[in-house]
A and B are shown apart, each in its own frame.
Chain A
Amino acid sequence: MIKLASEAEATLSSFYEEMRDKGAQRLRAAAWAAFSELGLPNRRVESWHYTDLKTAMSRPAPLATASHGALSLPRAHDSLRLVTLDGVFRPDLSDIARLPGGVAIQSLRGALAEGKLHVMSALASADIGAQDSMLALNAALMQDGVVIQIASGARIDRAIELATFTSAEAAQSTYTRALVMLGEGAQATLIETLGALTAAPAQDNSALLLRLAPNARVDLVTHVSGGVDQSIRIASLLAHLDAGATINSFALTEGDGLNRRQIFVRLDGEKASAVFNGATLGRGRLHADTTLVVDHAKPNGESREVFRNILDDQSVGVFQGKVIVRPGAQKTDGAMQSKALLLSEQATMNNKPELEIFADDVQCGHGATCGRLDKDQLFYLGARGLPRREAEALLIEGFANEAMEALEDDQLKAFLGERVSAWLSRRINR
């Protein structure tokens, strides 16, 4: 029944043996069975065609063992931070005492040990992303993470940051999973920070699961950074939106290594609204894959995706976006756009937008482009006195800004703007 072939898959099997009795045995067993069936994705798996994970992961790094040192971690936001370090939730490094009323948190380990039905079923998230073997592997091997419940009607003013770092000196693997459940009408801003504190080639597989009750709202900013050429980072985002719920998200990907961000969203109630925007700043050999499936299951839903890939050197960008409109999801309004700017001859972009529409009264569109800096624009800026590299920087910044327009939080906008500027000034000064 189980058909594990490669050496890599045998190593992963030993990880599963290590994790199988650490809570949620049935959930893990089902996930492992799914992974075993699918195996590590190679390029023949359509949704992984542009990211050859099987080759990259031919040697799974050992499972992380917790580090317990009192590290001082870089802090980029004025947020309530919850830290998962080297695969383990660290209350001692987190702002737990400062969490406001209406926010309840516990570690994933704690939640798995407790085994409350509604939490377990949300963690299992069996209905979306089921065909993805790396998400299944994440569920089978999940080490720790955080579970957050936000009470109905609660409005959390300060951003809650889910920071996942690795700090090992040698290669290691982490499998972390976070769950955020928002009660009816609850509102929160989340920051998802995924970073590496050392130059070791980490293999990180993280999942963030969002459950939005009717009329809940999440503003989410994801920032992926750090890593080295051999790093592998698979970050999945699963979101369930009930009626009238809203998610407005933006992700910035920079750093090095192989990155895959996969987003599975289901608009499960009427009039739900989802924005998934993002930008990639590619340099060196960064491989940045964004694969997105937006599933409109109910009528009157709205979804927007604006992605900008800025690719220099030999970096590779991938955008695969699929919008599904189920039968009966009438009056769905969807628009998806992916644009790439190639700054070097060796940079590559792969764009693959798809629509699967099974309802007849919908408005859905997509556009994908790929090009270089515009000569007319460069001349215009040059004629106004901007030296070539500065003119390029201004145009690149403008290109990235287009994906950030929907962001409402000025502080986060400023933070992202600074990241883009820092990336650009490195480009000007080299």
Chain B
Amino acid sequence: MLEIKDLHVSVGEREILKGLTLSVKAGEVAAIMGPNGTGKSTLSYVISGREGYEATQGEVRLNGENILDLDPAERAAKGIFLAFQYPVEIPGVATMTFLKAAMNAQRRARGEEELATPDFMKRVKDASAQLGVSQEMLRRPLNAGFSGGEKKRMEILQMALLQPRLAILDETDSGLDIDALRVVADGVNALRAPERAFVVITHYQRLLEYIRPDTVHVMAQGRIMRSGGPELALELEERGYQDYIAQEAA
């Protein structure tokens, strides 16, 4: 599903990704782990098309198609979803208005019919009940004044409604207490499907106790340094990232 080859990305003058290669299959949950400042968020931004993150070399393909020339909305319509580490507050825009605009924009881009209001309302109601998103939250402006946990639940709600093919979760566990973490992980697990892939970016192994990965990739110094199965996460938990940082210095 996702093929990244020898990807080099610069932000301004600074090169952050330095030849990153990664492959994620449909149905797979891939965990990306690594120390802070190693380019994990940069990877999530470059896949979703953020302005200012320039790929100077290499390629990113989604189901065989090069996506680097597409704008964020076009990528979203092709099924890429980024759950933000810091979801953005948008005062003045009602959450429901936003959800409907997003769902219908993607449907239009794919040549599908827009959702009728009753159908839309039912989908939101069902998904929000599962994630413990209250009606009161849905009436407020998007993310405005939400707690950290509420924002993350809102991200997963959007993911459930938009049904992406490739979901990138950027430090979704940051700022969550254990109960909120469980709710969010349950939401993610409910969406696991043979046709859908997840890239779960995290600093700690904790999240992976709730979202069990199929593959684990260690990222350091702008590259994937090592790939393995779930056991790799446990090894990292024990030994930390020292081996990978040291490797670079040597």
Contact = CB atoms under 8 A, between A and B. Distances in A.
A380 B75 CA distance: 13
A280 to B, nearest CB: 16
Nearest to B89: A377
Contacts of A397: 92-93
Contacts of B106: 384-385
Interface in B68-85: 71-73, 75-77, 80-82, 84
Interface in B34-72: 48-51, 71-72
Nearest to A398: B92
A192 interface: no
Contact of A385 (B51, B76, B87, B91): B76
B227 to A, nearest CB: 26
Interface in A389-404: 390-391, 394-395, 397-402
Contacts of B80: 383
Given A375-B51, A379-B72, A382-B76, A387 B105 contact: yes
A421 to B, nearest CB: 12
A376 interface: yes
Contacts, number: 80
A171 interface: no
Nearest to B88: A380
Nearest to B82: A383
A427 interface: no
A232 B114 CA distance: 44
Nearest to A390: B105
B193 interface: no
A96 B141 CA distance: 42
Interface residues of B, number: 31
Contacts of A401: 92-93
Interface string B123-140: 000000000000000000
A381 B95 CA distance: 12
Interface in A100-117: none
A401 B97 CA distance: 12
Contact of B102 (A374, A377, A386, A398): A386
A375 B45 CA distance: 13
B115 interface: no
A388 interface: yes
Contact of A383 (B76, B91, B97): B76
B169 interface: no
Contacts of A394: 93, 97-98, 101
B73 A379 contact: no
A53 to B, nearest CB: 33
Nearest to B141: A398
B90 interface: yes
Nearest to B80: A383
B88 A376 contact: yes
A397 B103 CA distance: 18
Interface in B12-52: 48-51
A379 B51 contact: yes
A261 to B, nearest CB: 22
B76 A400 contact: no
B90 A380 contact: yes
A380 B87 contact: yes
B158 interface: yes
A394 B104 CA distance: 14
Contacts of A398: 90-93, 141
A402 B91 contact: yes
B162 A384 contact: yes
Contacts of A374: 88
Nearest to A384: B102
Given A384-B158, A385-B73, 9 more contacts: A375-B51, A382-B72, A383-B72, A383-B80, A385-B109, A386-B73, A387-B73, A395-B90, A398-B91
